[in-house]
Amino acid sequence: MRVILERSNLLKSLNHVHRVVERRNTIPILSNVLLSTDGSSLELKATDLDLEVTEATPARVEQPGATTVPAHLLYDIVRKLSDGAEVMLRTDEDGTAMTVTSGRSSFRLQCLPQSDFPELSAGSFPHIFRLDSTALKGLIEKTQFAISTEETRYYLNGIFLHTHEVDGKLKLRSVATDGHRLARAEIDAPAGSEGMPGIIIPRKTVGELQKLVDDPDVAVTTELSDTKIRFTIGSVVLTSKLIDGTFPDYQRVIPTGNDKRLLIDRQSFAAAVDRVSTISSERGRAVKLSISEGQLTLTVNNPDSGSATEELAADYGSDPIEIGFNARYLLDVAGQLSSGDAEFLLADAGSPTLIRDTSDENTLYVLMPMRV
């Protein structure tokens, strides 16, 4: 194999694919990126056996071929080359090594054969639909913060994507929960998503996807089966296994009868929570909300370091209530809201609270209270 390409093109593609590769691998081939030529382009592919990313980048192919080299090493080399440089990749006759040449720099990397590289994207994907990247980005960003990191409940370690009928209209929903909080976002279901199975997209895949959907003008083609999902975003193709598990019936934890309505300026509230929680112990981080007519008082007590209180003006006309929440969770939800005001719908100190974005009826958040 012998190809010449722009350093910037190669770096951009390596940046997309090398992140999938784990730094420590017991299987040597999984530390490598597969490089293969196709007419006038170089295709790069990396996998961790659960997730695979491929991207084709323009190149001058002087001699076609394919090989695999250490992904992070190649990325570090290309990253340190001069801007605007051309890079030549050339394998030896016997295929055991590849030389990377740019200007006066030359590097020689050990290769592993292409035949050892695993294939993840095989199989059929019966459900296909297209989304614009802004819609997909919204579904991910509004819910991914609530994904559980607790490995024992592995079925919560991702975003649940499914269709749901609301008032006769089909919606595409994303839901994430860790048992203490829940986030739900939805958009009008795109054509082709009808009849799709409910799927759980793993946390690592969600993270990679989030980095790839930055361009608002790109349409994302989504293909899925019962066990895998594939996203095509411009020249990048991301294929992932799905979490094999059953997502809990989240509808049961979304309260419907919460009649105490609190309306509060979102930025003032977030800043006040951040200030008073400075004094809380990292372990508990509980903030008490004392709500009465026209006023909200935030209190934090820490036996080791002291206490803090702050008062805010609020739109509230129901019976007074005291309720505690994890400060980090309140800040996470406040960070997702786009409107000026946050709407809290409360029942009592021991029941889940519903939080809505006053300018976005397609998202909602549920927080479980803490004892304070």
Per-residue exposure over 235-256, b if at least 16 CB sit within 10 Å of its own CB, e if not: ebbbbbbbbeeebbebeeeeee
**For each of the chain's 372 residues, which pLDDT tens digit applies?**
999 999 999 999 999 999 999 988 899 999 999 999 988 999 999 999 999 999 999 999 999 999 999 999 999 999 999 999 999 999 999 999 999 999 999 999 999 999 999 988 778 899 999 999 999 999 999 999 999 999 999 999 999 999 999 999 999 999 999 999 999 999 999 999 999 999 999 999 999 999 998 877 889 999 999 899 999 999 999 999 999 999 999 999 999 999 999 999 999 999 999 999 999 877 668 999 999 999 999 999 988 889 999 999 999 999 999 999 999 999 999 999 988 899 999 999 999 999 999 989 999 999 999 987
CB 111 within 8 A of CB 67: yes
In tens, the pLDDT along 129-178 reads 999 999 999 999 999 999 999 999 999 999 999 999 999 999 999 999 99
Tokens matching residue 369: 């209270």
- 227 and 293 together in one domain: no
Confirm whether 306 is domain-assigned: yes
Residues 6+ apart with CB under 8 A from 50: 202, 204, 205, 240, 241
- List, for residues 50-69, the tens digit of each pLDDT value: 999 999 999 999 999 999 99
User: In 83-181, which ranges are continuous DSSP H helix?
Assistant: 133-141
**Parallel, antiparallel, or unpaired for β 360-367 and 315-316?**
unpaired
Domain boundary among 200, 231, 252: 252
For residue 173, what pLDDT is reported?
A: 97
> In this structure, is residue 121 part of a structural domain?
no
> What confidence score (pLDDT) does residue 283 get?
63
Best CA proximity match to 364, nearest among 260, 255, 277: 255
Residues 266, 245: one domain? no
Whether 52 is covered by a domain: the verdict is yes
Q: Which of 252, 286, 307 is the last residue of a domain?
A: 252
Co-location of 31 and 62 in the same domain: yes
Look-up of token digits 């295709």: 43
- Chosen domain end from 78, 93, 116: 116
Query: What is the pTM (predicted TM-score) of this model?
Result: 0.92
Give the count of domains, the chain.
Answer: 3
CATH of the domain at 241: 3.10.150.10
User: Does 122 reside within a domain?
Assistant: no
pLDDT at residue 72, rounded to an integer = 96
pLDDT (tens digit, 9 = 90+) per residue, 234-266? 999 999 999 999 999 999 999 999 999 999 999
Q: Please give the residue range of the domain that contains residue 238.
A: 127-252
Give yes or no: residues 147 and 240 share one domain: yes
Whether 372 is in a domain gets the answer no
